[in-house]
Amino acid sequence: MRIGSKPFRLAAVAVAIGTGIALAGCSSVDTTGGPAALGTADDINPQPREAVRDGGNLRLAVSSFPANWNALTVDGNNLEIAEIVWPLMPRSYITDAAGNLTIDKNYFTDIQLTGTDPQQVTYTINPKAVWSDGSPITWEDIASQAHALSSADTRYQIAINSGFDRVEKVERGVDDRQAVITFKEHYADWRGQFAGNSMLYPKSVTADPEAFNHALLNGISLTAGPFVVQSTDRTQGRVVLARNPKWWGERPKLDTITYSVLDRSAYAAALQNNELDGARLSSIEDVATVRSTPDLVVRHTPGNLWRHLTFNGAPGSILADPALRVAISKAIDRQGIANATQNGLVADPKTLNNHIFIQGQQGYQDNSLPFDPQAAARELDALGWKLQGDVRVKDGRPLEIRDVMYNDPTWVRIAQIIQGDLAKVGVKLTIDTRPGQGFFTDVMIPGDFDVAQFQFSGDAFPLGSIPQIYAYHPDDLQTNFGRIGSEELNALIDETLSELDPAKAIALANQVDRKVFEEGFSLPLTQDPGNFGVRTNVANFGAPGLASYDYTKIGFVK
């Protein structure tokens, strides 16, 4: 999650298990030719519409078939699912490389903060905007989604409430094409409620908990983007999007976009074999493969994915004591992990030292606890975990924890480094790899881990994502997989979200971040270097950084 300055906040955070940066071995490849920092530029081979030919099929890859096409659900809140759904669904804003926002006029002719006491936001819907069955997008779709995400009905298995828990009511404006949202409490990140990963879904999906949770498990039919779903094949692992015949905006240049399910370790070879047109690159070897292949290029700009460790602090778990989690955190050499996984991929490997903002975004500062294995050992002693041989024991229970992750070489390497670090202070760590398919549904949501490794992804918004992950409400967990938190932290999060002054909200958000470190919630590791392998003739697609794609302009140069 991260935020930009004016447009504020990183919208609904999506989670990702793959995009591994595999071990940087002995070889060296120059990958530093792109922008120096997130928020400075994108690298997408920008071309005007007239330079892009009509037609063609863009071939992309995902590591698993969508578990739920409703990206608002806890099991659909996955970056790869969002990437498939973005060309299909309405969002309120277009984002540039610096995180600046422009209203997406395809969907809304105007979005205005029309009051502050009480806070009120008015959405005016484009009169041409329709769902793919020809029915109009109306204020009722907005009102229905606001209710579904409000947390008022906990049967809705939401990934994030996007501030709708602070909404008093949603009313019809001057006609069915206008919605007026009135807040009962101020909400700092109001611009992100239908932006980023928080797309607008039709009321047929959001009006009923059963439909919300399960109607899109096997596919999606009612959409409203420049593309529609042409076909899906779970067995073959393939999704094909085609032009939406009812699309009212600029005609897309591409005929189709095809997503194929591949193991991430196969992406570079698939590019080299002309089976894909674009893919994230996971390792220095992948980068070398792309650079050595004719008609391929590495597009690079620092990304907004970031690796981290999440601890399980649920009642009864071995890491339920926050002091124990903090002590273990201090024994993990995060800089060593950065060096081992990013040497050769970036010029100067650095740890990420903030949970709310990433490097390059306004508000980023180092709020982390220091790496201090000596202090970790003292604190473990004080907590009653005494060394017996190589492993600490308390009340007859050895200090053994499971590190659960997607079966990816880089995640395993990171786990091995952590395993070695923790062994030095008497903590035994077991590496537990799982398949990508069902990772969140079967592992993270039920809490089947002591420590887990995956990635978060955000966009140009990020205050609204703070409660999604770091607030703790036992009956509304959202993405707090580790079930960790406190009333004090909840109160500070509420104060942050209630602050409409951007500078003050940023300062409060950094106070939240420090407390997240102090409760041993999770450990940020590294930020994605943002390398994409793309065919040289692909236009308006590649390494976007904070920017959103214009799917009507993506295509192949003439």
Calculated CA dihedral for residues 397, 403, 407, 409, nearest 10 degrees: -120
pLDDT digits (tens, 9 = 90+) for 248-265: 999 999 999 999 999 888
pLDDT of residue 16: 55
Q: Which fold has domain 49-63+226-301+530-557?
A: D-Maltodextrin-Binding Protein; domain 2 (3.40.190)
Q: What is the DSSP letter of 104?
A: -
In whole angstroms, what is the distance from residue 335 CA to residue 551 CA?
A: 38
Q: What is the DSSP letter of 130?
A: B
298 in Cβ contact with 290 (< 8 Å): yes
pLDDT of residue 161: 87
In whole angstroms, what is the distance from residue 93 CA to residue 91 CA?
A: 6
In whole angstroms, what is the distance from residue 219 CA to residue 199 CA?
A: 16
The domain segmentation of the chain, as residue ranges, is: 49-63+226-301+530-557, 79-215, 305-527
CATH, domain range 305-527: 3.10.105.10
Residue 153: φ, ψ to 5°: -120, 105
Q: Which of 129, 159, 127 is nearest to 145 (CA)?
A: 159
Question: Tokens at residue 123, please?
Answer: 């959405």
Which CATH number fits the domain 79-215, given the four candidates 3.90.76.10, 3.10.180.10, 3.40.50.720, 3.30.70.1140? 3.90.76.10
pLDDT of residue 459: 65
172: left (phi over 0), alpha (psi -120 to 50) or beta: beta
- What is the rounded end-to-end Cα distance, in angstroms, of the chain? 38
Adjacent-strand bridge partners of 457: 14, 305
Beta strand 256-261 pairing with 451-457: unpaired
Annotate 436-465 with b (16+ C-beta within 10 A) or e (fewer).
Answer: beebbeebbeebebbbbbbbbbbbbbbbbb
pLDDT digits (tens, 9 = 90+) for 537-558: 999 999 998 889 999 999 999 9
In whole angstroms, what is the distance from residue 302 CA to residue 99 CA?
A: 13
The neighbour count for residue 66, using CB atoms within 10 Å, is 26
Q: Which of 175, 171, 176, 196 is nearest to 121 (CA)?
A: 171
3-state SS, one letter per residue, for 414-458: HHHHHHHHHHCCCCEEEEEEECCCCHHHHHHCCCCCCEEEEEEEC
pLDDT of residue 458: 62
Q: Which of 152, 146, 154 is nearest to 190 (CA)?
A: 146
pLDDT digits (tens, 9 = 90+) for 484-525: 999 999 999 999 999 988 899 999 999 999 999 999 999 999
Q: Could you tell me the pTM of the whole model? A: 0.81
pLDDT digits (tens, 9 = 90+) for 103-150: 999 999 999 999 999 999 999 999 999 999 999 999 999 999 999 999
Could you list the pLDDT tens digit for every one of the 558 residues in the chain?
Answer: 322 222 222 334 555 544 332 222 222 333 333 344 666 778 999 999 999 999 999 999 998 999 999 999 988 988 899 999 999 999 999 988 877 899 999 999 999 999 999 999 999 999 999 999 999 999 999 999 999 999 999 999 998 888 999 999 999 999 999 999 999 999 999 999 999 778 999 999 999 999 999 999 999 999 999 999 999 999 999 999 999 999 999 999 999 999 999 988 899 999 999 999 999 997 888 999 999 999 999 999 887 889 999 999 999 999 999 999 999 999 999 999 999 988 877 778 999 999 998 887 788 999 999 999 999 999 999 999 999 999 999 999 999 999 999 888 889 999 999 999 999 999 999 999 998 778 888 999 899 999 999 988 766 788 888 988 999 999 888 789 999 999 999 999 999 999 988 899 999 999 999 999 999 999 999 988 889 999 999 999 999 988 899 999 999 999
Residue 131: φ, ψ to 5°: -75, 165
